């Protein structure tokens, strides 16, 4: 959690964390700046709270962080603009020389944040030369950075936010289920009151309305995929496709409070009835889900439940990523990922690496699935859970797991 950053900086010999300004949405900045809405820079020296650097127009938004906020004018930005004119490189070096001097940024400095790749490479290259006496820029292995380590556990304020978005997202999923169930069938097609087919586009529109009502946003777009599309784990689904009886539907919903914490959950539905192979896959996935919930304990490598699920599925004859590299059928992904200001963050659950250990206060998904595109179905069940003080995986998601939706219309 965030309070671990100073300890982690000591362990990793990092003297400062620097996030350069960016107009891109930056979850690192949201994390360090307590969710302030500004596009400026953030600097954290070891054993000091973060400080923000904002252009004049966003000062008041930045100040909502409760942190010390400097204006770019405090470092003479307008004067530098007049001096350097078209020489953006020279201006940036001069600006950050002042910033680093005044804020005491020196030693081993890690650069983080979401940003413009070319701009970050350019700026760090320039500063590495210009400030070589003062600063050594260091990088960390991907997925093992100091932020990954911090994200692995959530503090009480984060857990409140995660519980609330879980509650609201679950309510949307339940509402969607009830709304679909209120329709009727004509032949093998679900139809609206006027007899026209109920499409995936209609369902997504209903869900977006439900999200809107609850002030949730869906920046990456939900998955509502039927039949063969349900077997392509990241297919979003075809808006024009009518809902059909007996087809598996994978509904993966991962909204957030605007600029804040995500929830991530998936249900698999089959309207009217389930084909035997879908029912069998669903039963296997639910058993994998239950086993995973039981296996996730503090101190366990995240590889363990992932491998256990692979072995369980393989015992039923399904290919998995454990022994069928690159398989596109059977169990084709990893069991879980952390959830926070990023929909995917540490801890990850790799098949072949013991990089992550489950900890008390970890918040992560559990999402086994089985996919058979050639047979036209896919199944996934996903909750987001917190590893509780009691040492058990407590689900934050609150929604029935039932496969079959009986039409009541």
Min separation Cβ 215 and a copy of itself, Å: 9
Contact 348, 143 (CB under 8 A): yes
Residue 29 vs 183, nearer CB to a copy of itself: 29
When asked if residue 344 is in the footprint of a copy of itself (CB under 8 A), the reply is yes
264-272, 280-288, 311-319, 325-333 -> range binding a copy of itself (CB under 8 A): 325-333
DSSP one-letter code for 198 = P
Contact 401, 286 (CB under 8 A): yes
When asked if residue 234 is in the footprint of a copy of itself (CB under 8 A), the reply is yes
Here the contacts of 324-330 (C-beta below 8 Å, separation 24 or greater) are: 328/371, 328/373, 329/231, 329/371, 329/372, 329/373, 329/374, 330/370, 330/371, 330/372
22-30, 161-169, 174-182, 263-271 -> range binding a copy of itself (CB under 8 A): 22-30
52 to each of 45, 218, 350, how far by Cα in Å? 12, 28, 35
Which residue in the set 67, 106, 111, 159 belongs to the binding site for a copy of itself (CB under 8 A)? 111
When asked if residue 117 is in the footprint of a copy of itself (CB under 8 A), the reply is yes
Site size for a copy of itself (CB under 8 A): 77
When asked if residue 139 is in the footprint of a copy of itself (CB under 8 A), the reply is yes
Q: Give Cβ neighbours of residue 314 (< 8 Å, ≥ 6 apart).
A: 320, 322, 323
Site for a copy of itself in 59-98 (CB under 8 A): 59-61, 73, 77-79, 81-82, 85-86, 88-89, 92
Min separation Cβ 121 and a copy of itself, Å: 5
- Phi and psi angles of residue 303, each rounded to the nearest 5 degrees, phi first: -65, -30
**Hey, which residues does 266 pair with through a beta bridge?**
252, 382
Site for a copy of itself in 254-283 (CB under 8 A): 258
Which residue in the set 36, 321, 335, 399 belongs to the binding site for a copy of itself (CB under 8 A)? 321
Burial of residue 285 (CB within 10 Å: 0-12, 13-18, 19+) is buried
**Hey, which residues does 189 pair with through a beta bridge?**
186, 244
Site for a copy of itself in 31-60 (CB under 8 A): 37-38, 56-60
Site for a copy of itself in 148-207 (CB under 8 A): none
155-163, 216-224, 275-283, 357-365 -> range binding a copy of itself (CB under 8 A): 216-224
When asked if residue 123 is in the footprint of a copy of itself (CB under 8 A), the reply is yes
Is the preceding peptide bond at 347 cis, omega within 30 degrees of 0?
yes
Residue 271 vs 364, nearer CB to a copy of itself: 364
When asked if residue 332 is in the footprint of a copy of itself (CB under 8 A), the reply is yes
For the chain, how long is the longest CA-to-CA vector?
A: 76
Report the C-alpha gap between 136 and 132 in whole angstroms. Answer: 7
Min separation Cβ 187 and a copy of itself, Å: 28
Of how many residues is the chain composed? Answer: 409
Which residue in the set 134, 189, 279, 328 belongs to the binding site for a copy of itself (CB under 8 A)? 328
Which residue in the set 47, 102, 121, 408 belongs to the binding site for a copy of itself (CB under 8 A)? 121
Residue 15 vs 77, nearer CB to a copy of itself: 77
Contact 277, 183 (CB under 8 A): no
When asked if residue 317 is in the footprint of a copy of itself (CB under 8 A), the reply is no
Q: Give Cβ neighbours of residue 166 (< 8 Å, ≥ 6 apart).
A: 263, 265, 384, 396, 397, 398
Residue 220 vs 389, nearer CB to a copy of itself: 220
């Amino acid at each position: 959690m965030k309070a671990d950053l100073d300890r982690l900086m000591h362990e990793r010999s990092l003297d400062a964390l620097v996030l350069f300004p960016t107009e891109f949405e930056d979850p690192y900045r949201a994390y360090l700046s307590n969710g302030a809405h500004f596009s400026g820079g953030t600097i954290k020296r070891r054993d000091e709270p973060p400080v923000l650097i904002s252009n004049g127009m966003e000062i008041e938004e930045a100040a909502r962080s409760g942190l010390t906020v400097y204006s770019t004018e405090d470092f003479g930005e307008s004067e530098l603009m007049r001096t350097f004119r078209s020489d953006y490189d020279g201006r940036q070096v001069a600006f950050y020389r002042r910033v680093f001097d005044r804020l005491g940024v020196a030693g081993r400095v890690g650069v983080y944040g979401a940003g413009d790749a070319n701009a970050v490479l350019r700026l760090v290259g320039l500063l590495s030369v210009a400030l070589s006496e003062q600063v050594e820029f260091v990088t960390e292995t991907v997925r093992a950075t100091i932020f990954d380590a911090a994200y692995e556990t959530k503090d009480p304020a984060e857990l409140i936010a995660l519980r609330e978005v879980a509650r609201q997202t679950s309510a949307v999923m339940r509402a969607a289920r009830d709304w679909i169930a209120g329709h009727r069938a004509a032949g093998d097609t679900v139809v609206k009151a006027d007899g026209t087919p109920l499409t995936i586009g209609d369902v997504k529109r209903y869900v977006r309305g439900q999200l809107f009502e609850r002030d949730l946003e869906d920046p990456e777009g939900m998955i509502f995929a039927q039949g063969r599309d349900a077997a392509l784990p990241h297919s979003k689904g075809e808006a024009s496709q009518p809902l059909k009886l007996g087809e598996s539907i994978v509904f993966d919903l991962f909204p957030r409070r605007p600029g804040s914490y995500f929830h991530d959950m998936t249900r698999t539905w089959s309207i009217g009835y389930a084909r035997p192979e879908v029912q069998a896959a669903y039963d296997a996935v639910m058993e994998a889900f239950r086993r995973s919930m039981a296996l996730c304990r503090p101190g366990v490598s995240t590889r363990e439940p992932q491998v256990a699920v692979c072995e369980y599925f393989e015992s039923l004859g399904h290919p998995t990523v454990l022994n069928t590299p690159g398989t596109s059928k059977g169990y084709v992904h990893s069991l879980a990922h952390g959830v926070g200001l990023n929909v995917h963050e540490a801890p990850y659950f790799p098949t072949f690496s013991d990089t992550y250990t489950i900890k008390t206060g970890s918040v992560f998904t559990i999402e086994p699935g089985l996919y058979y595109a050639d047979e036209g179905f896919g199944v996934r069940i996903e909750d987001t859970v917190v590893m509780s003080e009691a040492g058990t995986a407590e689900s934050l998601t609150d929604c029935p797991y039932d496969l079959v939706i009986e039409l009541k219309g």
